[in-house]
Amino acid sequence: MNEPQEMETAVGTTQASAEEEALRDRVMAMLRHVLDPELGINIVDLGLVYGVEVQGDTVHITYTLTTMGCPIGPLIEAEIKQFVAGVEGIENVEAEMVLRPPWNPEMMSEEAKAALGFF
């Protein structure tokens, strides 16, 4: 009699993680609207987004900046929260700036490298 309950739990877990993955994808799509104002390229293609974790209705975004002393940090964080707050199913947005690993141009997408003249 325990087996059906275990199976339901496994299916429920799979369904929950599939929903969280779908939410994660929608969050990533919204993060593409957050532009680095100096470079005019979104933070995803720049490689500044290090992690997006969804747990229930909360998303935790780990990001960095192109340089440690970059003065646009507060602007980037405000835009992350503004754009992601509009994602259906997300009630809480936690944005955490980290300095490790340090960002470097190799983290950019091929599109961003081409736009900035990196070959």
Kindly report, residue by residue over 2-23, the tens digit of the pLDDT.
Answer: 444 444 444 445 666 888 888 9
Q: Which tokens belong to 38?
A: 């100096």
What dihedral angle (degrees, nearest 10) is formed by the CA atoms of 84, 30, 26, 101? -90
- In the chain, the domains with their CATH numbers are 2-115 (3.30.300.130)
Amino acid 90: pLDDT: 93
Closest by CA position to 92, among listed 51, 54, 48, 64: 54
The model's pLDDT over 21-77, given as tens digits with 9 standing for 90+, comes to: 889 999 999 999 999 988 899 999 999 999 999 998 999 999 999 887 778 889 999
